[in-house]
Amino acid sequence: MEYLVVRFPRSRRVVIDGEFNGRANELIELEAGTYTVSLGPPANFTPESRRIVLKNTSALDPKEVTFDEA
């Protein structure tokens, strides 16, 4: 499995491939692959979504994706 951290200044639900799946600033465990990552409402963040390829990560060295508050 692979590991992802979505950075955002607040706690917020993470949306992966259109479904809620984990929370910002915590380790999210997923199988390897390409994903579309976004955040749950309210829509006060940029960018709208990010497309990532998840591979060769570990729990200590996860892929990091950052969203900013709009």
Partner 1 sequence: MRPRRAALSTILLLFLLQACAHYPINAPLQSYVPKAGYRFDNLTPGEGNTDAIMFCLTFSGGGTRAAALAYGVLEELRDTTITAEGASRRLLTEVDCISSVSGGSFAAAYYALFRNRIFQDFETRFLRRNIQGELAGQVLSPANWFRLISPYFSRIDLAAELYDATVFDGKRYKDLAGGARPFIILNATNTALGSRFEFTQDQFDFLGSDLGEYPLARAAAASSAFPFLLNPISLQNHPAPPGFSAPPAVANALEDPGTNPRRYLWAKNLITYQDKANHPYLHLLDGGLADNIGLRAVADAYTRGFIRRRINDGAIKTFVAIVVNAKTAPPEPTDLRRAPPRIPAVVMKTMTVSMESYSFETVEFMRSLAGNRAQAQQDVAACQRILDARCPGGERLRPFRSELRLHVIELNFEQLQDPKEREFFLGLPTSFSLTNRQVDCLIAAGRKLLRASSDYQDLLRELGGRPQPGAESAAEFPPGGCKAPN
Where along the sequence are the contacts to partner 1 (CB under 8 A)? 1, 3, 5, 13-14, 17-23, 25-36, 53-55, 58-60, 62
Query: Contact 52/65 with Cβ under 8 angstroms?
Result: yes
Comparing CB distances to partner 1, the nearer of 46 and 60 is 60
CB atoms within 10 A of CB 27: 13
- Whether the ω angle into residue 47 lies within 30 degrees of 0, i.e. cis, is yes
Q: Whole-number minimum distance, CB 35 to partner 1, in Å?
A: 6
CB of 20 to partner 1, least distance (A): 7
